[in-house]
Amino acid sequence: MHTDFTKQYINGSWVSGSSSKTIENTNPYNGESLGTIASADANDLDRAYQSASDYQKTWDAHSPAEKQQYIHRLYDVMQNQKETIVEWLIKESGSSRLKAETEFNTASNIVFESTSFPNRIHGSTAPSNTPGKENYTFRSGKGVIGVIGPWNFPFHLAMRTIAPAVAAGNTVVVKPASDTPVTSGLLIAALFEEAGFPAGVIHVTAGRGSEIGDAFVTHEVPALLSFTGSTEVGTHIAELAAKNLKETALELGGNNAMVVLNDAEVKKAAKAAVFGSFLHQGQICLALNRVIIHDDIYDEFVEEFTRVAKTLKAGDPSDENVIVGPIINEEQVNNIEKLVQGTIDAGAKLQTEFEINGQVIPPVVLSEVTNDMPAAKDEVFGPVATLIRASSEDEAIRIANDSPYGLSGSVFTQDRYRGMQAARRINSGMVHVNDQSVNDEAHLPFGGEKQSGIGRFNGEWVLDEFTTEQWISVQAQDRPYPL
C-alpha cells in the first residue's frame, strides 16, 4: 500500500501540490513531524473535480455486483491494514488506542454496510391520471460529492460519507482536515487504490482552507457538499452552497446532555457519564458536555463521578493505559482554558485539579454549574464535564433543551419506559436511554436538530442524501390534446 503521504491523490496518481504553501503535519502529543505536504491550489482542485465529473457516469453505470466487489475489497484491505490505520490515528489525531480501535471498528461497520447499498437503490412505478400513461421513477447517484473531512474522528467521519457515496454511484473529492490530512483523506485514498478502485472514483486535495476552502464549496462540479465540524464553519459552507443552489449534508456542533433522573443507579450512570465525557479527551461531537442530575442524588453522583474520572490516565496516547491523550492544537488548549476559568469565576466548584501539561489536560470536573456558565453554554470540545443540579425531571429536560444544539443525548433511570418518554421530550436527533451519548451504528440515522446540522447519515437515510430520483413517463397510447 502507498505510504508516502506528502502528495495529493488526483485521478489515480500521487502528485505534488501546486501551491507554494505547505501543510506541516505534526504529532499533537510530542510535536514530532509526520511529513510536509505541498498544498493543493485552485488548479489542483479543478483537476480533481473535473476528473471526478468525467468518470462519474461511467462509475454509476457499473452493475451493483461490480460496485459491491470493489467495496468488499476495500473492507478486506482495511482489515489487513488495521494496525497501520490505528497507529496513524494515535500519532496524528492524538487518539488513545481504545479510541483508535473504536474508530476503526465503526468505520469498518459503515464500509460493510455500504456493500449492501448498490442493491438498495430502488425505483418505482405509479399509476397515472392520464389515460395510457405509465409512470416510473429511477434512482441514481447524485453526481460528484465534495467531502470536507474533520480532525477529531478523522478516519470514520470521512469514510462515513465516502463509502456510502461511492456505493450509491457517486464519485468523491475530499478536502482533508489540515490537522489530520492523512487519516481524514490521504490514507483513505491509499486504501481505495490498494482495493483496485478505478482512478476517477476518489480524489484527495489537501490544502489550507484559506486557499481552497471556499472554492471547494463554490466550484461548479459538486452536486452536494458533506461537512463534519463546527457550526460556525458549517454555517459558512451552507451560505456558500445556497448561493450556488448546492445541497449540503452537515453534521455540526453539539452541547450534549445526560439527564440523570432521581431513580437512576448512581454508580452505573456515573461510569457511563465519565466514558461519554472523556473519551478522546472530549473531542467528539457526541461527547457529553453537560450532566444534569436530579437534586435528590446530586451530591452522591458528583462524588462518584469525580472518583471515577480521577482514575483515568492522561498522557502519551501510544501508552495503552492512557485514556485521555493530547488536545489537537494549542488554539484548542487556549479555548478550553478560557472556558474552564470563566466557569470557575462564575461560581462553579472545581472537583479536580486543573492542569495543562503541554497539550494534555487531565479530566476536569466542575460541579454546581448552571446552564448559563461558559463551559455549559458553549461546546467545550475538551476533557471537561459540567455537573448541573435540577429540582425535577421537567426542569432537567428544560435545561437539556436550553441550547441552540441538538445532536445527541442520554437519559438514566431504572424505569425504561419513563426513560423513553423523557427521551422523546429532548429536542435532539439521537437520545440513548441508560447509555451515554457517544453511539453510532451504521444502519441507524445519525444527525442532529437545530444548529447541530442538516440531514442524516447511515443506512437508508444516507442513500436518500446521496442519490437523486428522476420521473420518466411513457405514453403507451396516443393522447388526445384539446387543441
In a domain, 247, yes or no: yes
**Is residue 96 predicted with pLDDT exceeding 90?**
yes
In a domain, 480, yes or no: no
In a domain, 3, yes or no: no
> If you average pLDDT over residues 327-338, what whole number do you get?
97
Nearest alpha-carbon partner for 220 in 238, 241, 206, 195? 241
What does R_g of the chain's alpha carbons equal in angstroms? 24
For the chain, the first-to-last Cα distance in angstroms comes to 67
Q: How confident is the model at residue 254 (pLDDT cuts 50, 70, 90)?
A: very high
User: In this prediction, what percent of the chain has a pLDDT beyond 90?
Assistant: 99
Domain identity same for 74 and 222: yes
Domain residues for 244? 8-252+452-471
Question: What per-residue string of b and e applies to 432-470 under the rule 16 or more CB within 10 Å gives b?
Answer: bbbebbbbbebeeebbbebbbbbbbbbbebbbebbbbee
pLDDT tens, residue by residue, 181-233:
999 999 999 999 999 999 999 999 999 888 899 999 999 999 999 999 999 99
Give the pLDDT score at 444. Answer: 96
Domain identity same for 62 and 194: yes
Domain identity same for 200 and 87: yes
Instruction: Find the catalytic residue in 103, 211, 247, 251.
Output: 251
Global pTM? 0.95
Beta carbons within 10 angstroms of residue 72's beta carbon: 15
Q: How confident is the model at residue 37 (pLDDT cuts 50, 70, 90)?
A: very high
Domain identity same for 215 and 311: no
Domain identity same for 183 and 294: no
Number of structural domains the chain divides into: 2
Give the pLDDT score at 463. Answer: 95
Domain identity same for 268 and 306: yes
Catalytic residue at 251?
yes
What are 361's three cell numbers?
Answer: 489536560
> If you average pLDDT over residues 429-455, what whole number do you get?
96
Q: Is 288 helix (H, G, I), strand (E, B) or coil?
A: strand
In a domain, 481, yes or no: no
> If you average pLDDT over residues 54-64, what whole number do you get?
97
Give the pLDDT score at 209. Answer: 83
Domain identity same for 248 and 299: no
Rounded to whole angstroms, the Cα distance separating 154 from 161 reads: 11
Domain identity same for 192 and 152: yes
Domain identity same for 98 and 222: yes
In a domain, 442, yes or no: no
Domain identity same for 124 and 159: yes
The conformation of residue 479, written as its DSSP 8-state character, comes to P
Domain identity same for 40 and 133: yes
pLDDT tens, residue by residue, 269-281:
999 999 999 999 9
Q: What is the CATH number of the domain that holds 145?
A: 3.40.605.10
385 torsion bin: left (phi>0), alpha (psi -120 to 50), beta (else): beta
In a domain, 479, yes or no: no
Domain identity same for 113 and 192: yes
Across the chain, mean pLDDT equals 97
In a domain, 440, yes or no: no
> If you average pLDDT over residues 24-39, what whole number do you get?
97
Q: Is 285 helix (H, G, I), strand (E, B) or coil?
A: coil
Sequence-distant (≥ 6) Cβ neighbours of residue 93 within 8 angstroms: 28, 151, 152, 154, 179, 180, 183, 328
pLDDT tens, residue by residue, 376-405:
999 999 999 999 999 999 999 999 999 999
Give the pLDDT score at 246. Answer: 95
Q: Is 294 helix (H, G, I), strand (E, B) or coil?
A: strand
User: In this prediction, what percent of the chain has a pLDDT beyond 70?
Assistant: 100
Nearest alpha-carbon partner for 153 in 127, 115, 180? 180
Q: What is the CATH number of the domain that holds 260?
A: 3.40.309.10
In a domain, 482, yes or no: no
Give the pLDDT score at 38. Answer: 95
Strands 449-450 and 467-475: unpaired
Sequence-distant (≥ 6) Cβ neighbours of residue 284 within 8 angstroms: 152, 153, 438
